[in-house]
Structure 1
Amino acid sequence: MAKAIIRHNLPFSDVEYEGVREVHSFLNSTVKTISRNIAKVVVLRLYHDKMEIVKNELQAIPNRICVVDPLIEHFKMIDSFLCDGDFVHIRCANHILNVVVKAGLKTIESAIFNIRESIKYIKGSESRIVKFVECIKNLGLNMNGKLFQDMCTRWNFTYLMLDSAFPYRRAFSNFKLLDRDFKCCPSNDDWVEAEKIAKFLRPFYEITILFSGIHYPTANLHFHKFWKIHMLILEEKYSEDPNIKEIAIEMEKKFANYWEDDYSPIASMAVVLDPRYKLKLVKFCFKKLDPLTCNEKVSVVEDNLRRLFKEYKTTSDVEMVGSNSHGCDGEMLDDVEEFDMFESPC
Structure 2
Amino acid sequence: MRKLIVSPSPHVHSGDSIEKNMYGVVIALLPALAASLWFFGLGALIVTLTSVAACLFFEFFIQKYFFKKPTSITDGSALITGLLLAFNLPSNMPVALIIIGAAVAIGIGKMTFGGLGNNPFNPALVGRVFLLIAFPVQMTSWPIPLEARTSYLDAVTGATPLSFMKEGLFTELPSYSQMLFGQMGGSAGEISAIALLLGLAFMLYRRIITWHIPVAVIGSIAVFTGALHLADPVLYATPLLHILTGGALLGAIFMATDYATSPMSVKGMWIYGIGIGLITVLIRVFGSYPEGMSFAILIMNAFTPLIDNYIKPKRFGEKPAVQQA
* TM-score normalised per structure 1: 0.27
Higher helix share: 1
Structure showing greater Rg:
1
Q: Higher relative contact order at CA 8 Å, sep ≥6: structure 1 or structure 2?
A: 2
